């Protein structure tokens, strides 16, 4: 994939009724629900392969807890990272940190974890099954006790969502919601960490971002 592809891909969020715009609505609703339920005090959030950050930034822009949230968005593509910074600045969100870095290496999150909210949207559909298992195995190390995880994955054959849901349960995540996007293959999952989170480990390679197209053709 070219760098321009990942920038242009976000244009689908602006298309009314598109699968991505409807998926975004579901993700935002789950973020909103987490913030609405969160106990008083500081809230930490991280986003893996954040893209332009439209999910978290879109909620924080108008949420009454916006000043309580400190977040780090990790995105490798510099153009998308720059757009995320612009969106955050336009919304007056000075506690949103956008880092242009490799989101697949745990060191990118050092200092921003343990997080109360972890976003892994647009990740599991672009990496191999083995890397999905590996990444899920390390997700609890990013989490504060009781943290919320929001993730996405398509259900095109072979549907990996049953395996993802089972793997999340294996590492201590309780399922809160699993929502299909109407008339589409996309799904949004929300889980709560019900086990004691293990210590964070730096310099761990979680996955190789292959891209959906390469996986489909492989």
Tell me the pLDDT of the chain averaged across its residues.
Answer: 93
Q: Name the least confident of 38-42, 149-153, 167-171, 207-211.
A: 207-211
For 92: left if phi > 0, alpha if psi spans -120 to 50, otherwise beta; the answer is: left
Residues 88-143 have pLDDT tens digits of: 999 999 999 999 999 999 999 999 999 999 999 999 999 999 999 999 999 999 99
The more confident residue out of 146 and 4 is 146
| pTM assigned to the model | 0.93
Let me know if 27 is exposed, middle or buried by CB neighbors in 10 A (0-12, 13-18, 19+). buried
SS (H, E, C) 74-98: EECCHHHHHHHHHHHHHCCCCCEEE
Superfamily covering domain 3-217: Vaccinia Virus protein VP39 (3.40.50.150)
Over range 155-175, report the average pLDDT: 97
Least confident of 14-18, 97-101, 145-149, 175-179: 14-18
189 contacts 198 by C-beta, under 8 angstroms: no
- What whole-number distance in Å separates Cα of residue 182 and Cα of residue 66? 30
Cα(80)–Cα(128) distance, rounded to whole angstroms? Answer: 23
């Amino acid at each position: 994939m070219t760098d321009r592809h990942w920038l242009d891909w976000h244009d689908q969020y602006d298309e009314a009724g598109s699968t991505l715009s409807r998926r975004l609505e579901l993700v935002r609703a789950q973020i909103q629900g987490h913030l609405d339920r969160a106990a008083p005090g500081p809230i930490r959030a991280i986003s893996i392969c954040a893209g332009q950050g439209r999910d978290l930034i879109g909620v924080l822009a108008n949420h009454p807890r916006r000043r309580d949230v400190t977040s780090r968005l990790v995105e490798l593509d510099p153009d998308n990272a720059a757009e995320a910074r612009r969106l955050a600045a336009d919304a007056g969100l000075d506690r949103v940190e956008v880092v242009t870095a490799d989101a697949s290496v745990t060191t990118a999150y050092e200092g921003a974890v343990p997080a109360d909210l972890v976003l892994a949207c647009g990740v599991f559909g672009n990496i191999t099954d083995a890397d999905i298992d590996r990444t899920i195995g390390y997700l609890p190390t990013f989490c504060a006790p009781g943290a919320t995880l929001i993730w996405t994955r398509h259900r095109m054959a072979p549907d990996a969502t049953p395996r993802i849901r089972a793997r999340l349960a294996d590492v201590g995540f309780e399922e809160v919601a699993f929502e299909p996007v109407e008339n589409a293959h996309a799904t949004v999952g929300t889980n709560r960490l019900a086990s004691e989170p293990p210590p964070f480990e730096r310099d761990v390679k979680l996955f190789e971002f292959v891209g959906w197209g390469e996986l489909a053709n492989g």
